[in-house]
Structure 1
């Protein structure tokens, strides 16, 4: 099998854009608007920007997710079932919630979320089994690469938490300043006849708060976009799984737009 993405990759990527963006974007907006489903109002400029975002994000997952090899009708059909199936599910009264409001979720919402998590865990285990199955004999580099990639979302989440704490509490800056103070305090007192100047310098070095506060808001498009990188096997179950996660990711992008993981208020 030729593992090169090009030129075959370019051909299948054109079909990808047609199926998942140029048809899906206006089709979903029209149907959702007709039935009164939840949509973010967008100006023509916002639509244009979001379509470009879909193309950018789509190309990244297309290349790194190996969809030039696994892209098939299984993926396309499951994609459209997922995007509209998720929309119908999200329109249920108890499902109109977001992750930041988890403390107020009703029992039906908890059942829905726990069920989704269990399905994701089952599919994760299944894809790890596929990674073991499709690895080359006496060569487990792909398996370790595949498993190692699962840590990337965790690292990004931790970096987001760290950025939020720094933005809201200046955690890193304060720790850095404390270290600098320990180094400088002796020199400061040596240069000063009394503690007044040293105290003034220490106070002046206190970090000022940022103008905006930041909070973490994980959106469903981000969750399923990450999952789309791991449904990378040329196997019907993996192809269908890829279509499902891509459909739910696209729902978020088309209905609302590529909202940020960190939100400034």
Structure 2
């Protein structure tokens, strides 16, 4: 298990508590009142991105094992890291938390389905994948429990929560930077080989995922903050989950190479996307999105 795989859940649990300090029940009621952003983001996750990934895999002519590894990555839900990036770059964090929870449930069904279809289509030598309910429970624990505790603290100690908003945001950025450094150092010996094998395709997939996540909602007249949330949720896949499935459940370390490569690159592509989106001026959007 990589150092990042150990540190990231702990760091994210702390960060999610901080995000909970800035949320109130009204934020989640607003998501339910304007469901368009949620529906579009989930459609992109379940339908659009696997199709895009399949097109890239066929275009690059990847070997079967790496092709299945890419499809496994595409089928993985948005990671909890998306909540942090959305927080840092002005997204609707309540929408992110909602999407992460729903995505985790959907992935119980969609991840095994897409992976098994890919194994059959590409003829890779691997076993079949069952429903990963336990992984969804882990995501729920990391995301929802700390957020709920943070929201409870905000309700009970409102003044404290408001004072902590800026320090928590700074601390979150520092923790993220440390995780990125740990990820790069952990894979330093392997990065060259990874980039040679799947560097370009994972980079393209990351960029396309972020672009689809932002522009699909915006073209549907969804608000900018919700589009940023969708960008991060759809653009940041749970590489830790897909690595665990490939190397652990399917016992194929080569199949985990695309996710391992993506897991390093996505920190940087998502950061670039966040800075670019934050620099864009707000544009008027129709009400009720």
TM-score of the two chains, using structure 1 as the length reference: 0.35
Higher helix share: 2
Q: Which has the larger radius of gyration?
A: 1
